[in-house]
Amino acid sequence: MSSDTIILSIDKENYLYDAFTQSFSKRLSDVPLSNDVSLIGTKKPSQKIFQYGDYEDLNFDKIRDPNYLICAYVYRKALIRKHYLSHSILLYTVKNPTSILKSAFPETYHIEVDYAEFLDDALYECCELRNELVDSSNDKIWILKPSMSDKGQGIRIFKTIEQLQSIFDSFEEDEEEEEEEEEEEEEVMVVENSVSHTGKPKSFSDGIITSQLRHFIIQKYLANPLLLKAYKNKKFHIRTYVLCSGSLSVYVYKRMLSLFAAEPYNGSDIANIDEEMEKLNLNKHLTNTCLQTSEDAELNNSVVEFGDLEGLTEEDKQQILDQIYEIVKDLFKAALNVDRFSFQPIENAFEFYGLDFLVDDKLNVTLLEVNAYPDFKQTGDALRSLVYGLIDEAVNEIVCPFYNKEKEEIKSPNLVKVLEQATSGY
């Protein structure tokens, strides 16, 4: 009996658990499946173990073992941290001015703000941005994003320095209110003689902890998104799943998601943002479906497979896909060539990324961000087959050869290889 093992160290309730077990049963039924991560520490040199689990559960002490395959690279902040991403793209396009990234990434600035009172100092250090904001003839609208937050937290839209200052002031006010509420809750728990504590981190519906997140990016807001009448002219972005394998093959999964905002887009409130920033309804502008409940998302038809979108011709869709393929190819070339410390692909690893793209009314595609361990659950139950297909093709392409199993020649694969580049990854 082979000592080779598959370790699936995620909860059985995890959205991906059944996807992996179905694929393993179909393609690797003779390899035992376990959730015991201690087997990795005691594995024999010849024993093959593939582990899929959370980043914190992977045994990075074993990554030089070619018979241990893991589901994440150790270093990839050049992609997944917004200020590193913008820096990588900037340096790459300086050296490669004809790259599609030159036009497919918004004008972006990076500032460091520890506390709201130091915003002015941060803007003096980023003089290009300050000049943009003080120019009264400038009609640009800007969007603020914390570099290391997700799920839409802390995103704000503004135009002037005064508005930006008020945003940071409001962050600190929200934080102080949260702290006061927590203190009151703790006092109540003491009075009730409660012996347990949830241990959960502070939850902000739309705010951030400025004292913990000091890196922010400010990007030019794209105010002319593609709107489709069939979806009530709601703004949407495209979620694209990318699979990176070894060091380095990059695949784009061509079954993509269209994620819609909760309410129809309204460009007039952006045009009047000078006077009405406080009245700006972000539900019309933010397409993060995590800001909606799963019931609301289903009711609002907020998640649609890109290939099924109504209102676009097949030629339109192919034009968008071709741009996405080109952007992904150059993006990973940028990550490899600009900052090799911050993106280090290795042979015995692969990783899924979720890339978000916005399409404008001229069908031009813009990259918004890159996410490691993407939230597959936002796909929902109706499109579960999309994620299951991705997992199965990844198992066929990467995991089967690892166990010396012949991979199936899929007639119509949805994984499209966009880059193959040898690196020094071990």
Say if residue 171 is in the same domain as residue 297. no
Say if residue 280 is in the same domain as residue 358. yes
Q: Is the pLDDT of residue 172 over 90?
A: no
The last residue of a domain, from among 165, 196, 221? 221
Structure tokens at 157: 């839209």
Say if residue 354 is in the same domain as residue 263. yes
Residue 382 included in any domain:
yes
Residue 426 included in any domain:
no
Residue 345 included in any domain:
yes
Share of the chain above pLDDT 90, in %: 74
Say if residue 141 is in the same domain as residue 21. no
Q: Is the pLDDT of residue 245 over 90?
A: yes
pLDDT of residue 301: 64
178-234 pLDDT, tens digit per residue, is 555 555 555 444 434 433 333 333 333 455 555 557 899 999 999 999 999 999 999
CATH number where 121 lies: 3.30.1490
Provide the number of structural domains found in the chain.
3
Better-scored residue on pLDDT, 308 or 124: 308
Q: Mean pLDDT for the chain?
A: 88
Say if residue 209 is in the same domain as residue 234. no
Cα 329 → chain centroid: 17
Better-scored residue on pLDDT, 151 or 141: 141
Say if residue 242 is in the same domain as residue 369. yes
The last residue of a domain, from among 16, 51, 70? 70
Residue 172 included in any domain:
yes
- Reported confidence tier of residue 18, pLDDT bands at 50, 70, 90: very high
Question: Which positions ≥6 away from 248 have C-beta within 8 Å?
Answer: 332, 336, 345, 419, 420, 421, 422, 423, 425
Say if residue 317 is in the same domain as residue 343. yes
Phi and psi at 377, nearest 5°, equal: -65, -25
Residue 425 included in any domain:
no
Between 384-394 and 17-27, two packed helices, what is the crossing angle to 10 degrees? 50
Question: Which domain does 270 fall in, by range?
Answer: 77-106+223-420
